[in-house]
């Protein structure tokens, strides 16, 4: 087996670094053109509404079901921990803060990346492989504005709304388990939640997180589709990259945003 020399390893490392920087540069130019470029054809509002249905409404089922079960699990686990300290009446506070600050935005973003993000990548990649994007350019239509921009804005708009729905149904699921199953007094459940949740520290920070995650996940999804190799294997790899990159970006950004919002800096 041929051994790789240190210089060869250094060259490969440098080549990989250059490729990463070049891809990042292309993605930034891609985003700027899609968001700020001049619209060339079509009815933007109709295109946006169609994509809102595709990436938002069609993601609603998995968001609602996941939110309910996660809220139920939080209430069950939280009760088992708090009851040993005689603080089981605070389970509503724990469920609400956990969902609003962390699990609501993060889990919604991960589910969105797996459901809508992968679909966006595959859809745009398929358009590229069948030369639909090239055909638009030939008739003077900018594919970034006609194809990419509506999908970008649909992701930016729909994911924060989905995160809010996730938190609401999660709190409802937690209340169902805590009050109806575990016997927590309903008045204490809702009163402790209301007294502990701050609009600026909890609700607003959760919304900010979901907006940032929506921006990053949708950006990664549409760029991977537009930049992929126009083959079935290339589309498959791009779809995998979308889910992996978006998930890692969400988890990394969650730590950074949490440190900035709640850390003592």
Query: For the chain, what is the HEC assignment?
Result: CCCCCHHHHHHHHHHHHHHHHHHHHHHHHHHHHHHHCCCCCCCHHHHHHHHHHHHCHHHHHHHHHHHHHHHHHHHHHHHHHHHHHCCHHHHHHHHHHHHHHHHHHHHHHHHHHHHHHHHHHHHHHHHHHCCHHHHHHHCCCCHHHHHHHHHHHHHHHHHHHHHHHHHHHHHHHHHHHHHHHCCCCHHHHHHHHHHHCCHHHHHHHHHHHHHHHHHHHHHHHHHHHHHCCCCHHHHHHHHHHHHHHHHHHHHHHHHHHHHHHHCCC
Q: In Å, what is the CA distance from 51 to each residue of 48, 56, 210, 224?
A: 5, 8, 19, 18
- Residue 155, in any domain of the structure: yes
- Report the range of poorest mean pLDDT among 103-112, 167-176, 182-191: 182-191
Identify whether 23 is part of a domain: no
Query: Is 248 domain-assigned?
Result: yes
Asked if residue 228 is part of any domain, the answer here is yes
- Domain membership flag for residue 118: yes
The mean pLDDT value for 223-239 works out to: 89
The answer to whether residue 265 scores a pLDDT higher than 60 is no
Q: Tell which wins on pLDDT, 33 or 2.
A: 33
When divided into structural domains, the chain yields a total of: 1
Cβ atoms of 154 and 58 within 8 Å: the answer is no
In angstroms, how far is the first alpha carbon of the chain from the final one?
Answer: 52
Let me know if residue 28 belongs to a domain: no
Lowest mean pLDDT among 4-8, 101-105, 126-130, 230-234: 4-8
Residue 41 pLDDT grade (very low, low, confident, very high; cuts 50, 70, 90): low
Q: Return all residues near 103 (Cβ < 8 A) that are at least 6 apart.
A: 70, 74, 170
pLDDT at 24 over 80: no
* pLDDT (average), residues 42-55: 85
Q: What average pLDDT does range 108-129 have in this prediction? A: 92
> pLDDT tens digits, residue range 131-186?
888 888 888 788 888 888 899 999 999 999 999 999 999 999 999 999 888 888 88
Note down the domain range covering 132: 60-262
User: Is pLDDT at 3 greater than 70 in this prediction?
Assistant: no
- Decide if pLDDT at 1 tops 70: no
- At 4, the pLDDT band (50, 70, 90 cuts) reads low
pLDDT of residue 33: 73
Residue 264 has pLDDT above 70, yes or no: no
User: What's residue 92's pLDDT?
Assistant: 87
In a domain, 209, yes or no: yes
66-75, 103-112, 199-208: lowest mean pLDDT where? 199-208
Residue 185 falls inside a structural domain: yes
User: Hey, which of 28-32, 70-74, 181-185 has the most confident mean pLDDT?
Assistant: 70-74
């Amino acid at each position: 087996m041929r051994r790789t020399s240190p210089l060869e390893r250094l060259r490969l490392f440098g080549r990989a670094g250059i490729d990463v920087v070049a891809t990042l540069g292309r993605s930034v130019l891609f985003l700027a053109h899609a968001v700020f470029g001049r619209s060339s054809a079509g009815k933007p509002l109709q295109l946006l509404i169609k994509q809102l249905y595709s990436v938002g409404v069609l993601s609603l089922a998995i968001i609602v079901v996941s939110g309910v079960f996660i809220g139920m699990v939080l209430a069950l686990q939280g009760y088992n921990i708090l009851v040993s300290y005689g603080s089981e009446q605070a389970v509503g506070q724990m469920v609400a803060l956990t969902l609003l600050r962390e699990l609501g935005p993060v889990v919604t973003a991960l589910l969105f990346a797996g459901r809508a993000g992968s679909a966006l990548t595959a859809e745009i990649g398929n358009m590229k492989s069948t030369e639909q994007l090239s055909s638009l350019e030939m008739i003077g239509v900018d594919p970034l504005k006609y194809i990419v921009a509506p999908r970008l804005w649909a992701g930016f708009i729909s994911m924060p709304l989905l995160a809010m729905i996730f938190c609401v149904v999660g709190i409802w699921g937690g209340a169902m388990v805590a009050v109806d199953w575990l016997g927590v007094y309903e008045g204490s459940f809702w009163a402790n939640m209301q007294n502990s949740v701050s609009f600026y520290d909890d609700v607003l920070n959760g919304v900010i997180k979901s907006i940032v995650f929506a921006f990053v996940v949708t950006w990664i999804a549409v760029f991977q589709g537009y930049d992929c190799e126009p083959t079935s294997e290339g589309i498959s790899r791009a779809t995998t990259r979308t889910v992996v990159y978006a998930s890692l970006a969400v988890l990394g950004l969650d730590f950074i945003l949490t440190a900035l919002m709640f850390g003592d800096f």
